[in-house]
Structure 1
Amino acid sequence: MGYFVTVEPGVRIYVEDLNPGGSKTILFIHGWPLSHKQFEYQFDVLPALGYRCIGIDWRGFGESDKPVSGYNYDRLADDVRAVVGALRLDNFTLAGHSTGGAIAIRYMARYNGWGVSKLVLIDAAAPTGFTTETANKLIAETLNDRPKMLQGVTDMFFFQYITERFSDWFFQMGLQAAGWSTAAIAASLRDEKLYQDLDKIFVPTLIIHGIHDKVIPFAQAQEVNKKIRYSQLVPFQYSGHGPFWEERDKFNQLLTQFIG
């Protein structure tokens, strides 16, 4: 079922809550510039296996409200904390993809991992995100021809072949976001670093990363693995930036094995 959680006056975050009675909970945080719908191929499978799967849309993206401000990692982590509090979540797995991985890391550091028993980082934008050159290019394209920018992101996202229809679906997901929020997050990916946050993570952490990732290089996953004390890195040999789809069966199996 879907509903909204108010995280501050005038700002509501959309929540998709599947199998609320599940024995174990996974909170998914999507990547830029997408929405919770990117995890469709997890939501198809995991609830039927007994997991409660919660997908949230960041402010400015998907079905959430789209204020003109609040697009730094601290505020986005605060939004996650508000959802966790509203849903009274505890002993849950936090799974973040790309920028969602960066938000998950900031949440762990800022709130001492409140309620989180295990962490999953999927091609996380950490410890850094975009280079200045890449971010500035994406910001300029977003503010002048956002559809062109989104098509370029879609084209470089995957290592495996995607159909034209799948590309269209992925592209439309990005268009759900506001232009201002899309540009603001690209700026955060350029300006914010997570080196100090990584030392504050003390829960078992699974790092999944496609070795062919053109968005966040695999070397960054290796760096994160060295910085997080209780982490394991699993390379996905046939994935780019989207192992949750490109190797979805392996991804889902690994996730359930890790959570138990």
Structure 2
Amino acid sequence: MGTYIEVEPNVRLYVEDLGQGHPVVFLHGWPASQRMFETQSVLLPKNGYRYIGIDFRGFGKSDSPWESYDYDRMADDVKAVVDKLGLSSFTLLGFSMGGAIAVRYMSRHRQHGVERLVLAGAAAPRFTQSESFPYGTPPEKVDEMIDDTYRDRPAMISDFGAKFTLKKPSPSFEAYMSMLCLEATAHGTIRAMESLRDEDLRHDLSNISVPTSIFQGVKDEICPFELAEETKARIHGSTMIRFEESGHAMLYDEPALFNESLLDLLRAGSGAAAAGRVL
């Protein structure tokens, strides 16, 4: 069921909470919403797990204040949801920008309540290149996307979507994803992209000590494979699952592998009683 949780005065986040069992908190990518995990919202409850999807501020059904889209504030929003729901031992899965927020949450809030971390195509350690970090997107390209958002946001989303998956999606899927992305507000889309451009997580990663799995599309053009390698090197004991035939969104390019890998991790980590997986 869906609910709204106040994370600061006059700012509420929409949270989808389905099923029972070990909780798995999903953090979506830019500029979508928790509805991008639609398949997992059905799959996990069928297999005895609790799906919790959060719409970040400015995205999906959540409120969209004018300010405060930095990683610290968005990580604080996640903690407010975790505390309101009384979660004490859960799996945290962050995709793309959601992966970046998950990393900041782990560092800023001392891994509060997290039993296992899954980073999928995460925008970490940095989304953009810098003088000391040669990987990722040139910051000028992000500036161009911000300009395109002012000029023609639907066209910007369409252009971004062309790099989202390796496989050519159906027109219906393209329309669905565009719809999800256009549910975000224009200023939320821009402010979050500014944070993606400017934030740096290199010092956060070493603070992560829970079991961490990195899901990465080998042919990712948005958060290239080098980012995952750098992230893995900075999180002690982390493991990587390579999606050889995937671009950025491995959950759409190789859905069976994504879902099987996630369920395997959950079964290994939570001691679920279910006898088998239902796919």
TM-score (norm 2): 0.91
2:16 aligns with 16
- 1:33 paired residue among 31, 34, 43: 31
RMSD of aligned Cα (Å): 0.7
Given the alignment of the two structures, is residue 252 of structure 1 paired with residue 234 of structure 2, yes or no? Answer: no
What is the distance in 2 between the residues matched to 1:43 and 1:16? 9
1:5 is aligned to 2:12: no
Superimposed CA distance per residue, residues 173-230 of structure 1 (whole angstroms, 9 cap, x where no aligned partner):
1000010110111111111000000000000000001011110101110110110002
Decide whether the 8 Å contact of 1:6 with 1:12 is kept in 2.
Answer: yes
The aligned amino acid for 2:17 is D
> What are the equivalent positions in structure 2 for 1:1-260 lying under 5 Å apart?
1-19=1-19, 22-130=20-128, 131-260=138-267
- Report the Cα offset of residue 70 of structure 1: 1.0
Counterparts of 2:168 and 2:151, CA distance in 1: 29
Structure 1 residue 121, shift from structure 2 partner: 0.1
Structure 2 residues without counterparts, runs of 5 or longer: 129-137, 268-279
Whether the aligned pair in 2 keeps the contact of 1:46 and 1:252 (CA below 8 Å) is no
Distance in 1 of aligned mates of 2:141 and 2:79: 30
Q: CA separation in 2, counterparts of 1:190 and 1:142?
A: 15
Deviation at 1:29, TM superposition (A): 0.2
Shift in Å at residue 42 of structure 1? 1.2
1:126 maps to a residue whose letter is: A
Answer whether contact 1:73 1:188 (CA < 8 A) is retained.
Answer: yes
d(CA) in 2 for partners of 1:88 and 1:142? 38
Aligned residues: 258
Letter in 1 for 2:83: G
Alignment check: 8 A CA contact 1:209 1:218 kept: yes
Matched residue type, 1:210: G
**Structure 1 unaligned blocks of 5 or more:** none
User: Following the alignment from structure 1 to structure 2, what is the Cα–Cα distance between the partners of residues 237 and 40?
Assistant: 23
- How many angstroms does 1:44 deviate by? 2.4
Query: What is the percent sequence identity of the aligned residues?
Result: 44
Contact 1:41 1:244 in 2 (8 A): no
| Residues 87-116 of structure 1: CA deviation (Å, up to 9, x unaligned) | 000110000000000000000000000000
Q: Which stretch of the first structure deviates more once superposed, 36-45 or 93-102?
A: 36-45
The alignment partner of 2:36 has SS state of: helix
Q: Distance in 2 between matches of 1:90 and 1:142?
A: 39
Distance 1:88 1:247 in 2: 33
Q: 2:271 matched to which residue of 1?
A: none
- 1:134-170 Cα distance to aligned partner (Å, 9 max, x none): 2101111111111110001111111012000100000
**Cα distance in 2 between the residues matched to 1:223 and 1:233:** 11
* C-alpha separation in 2, matches of 1:38 and 1:218: 22
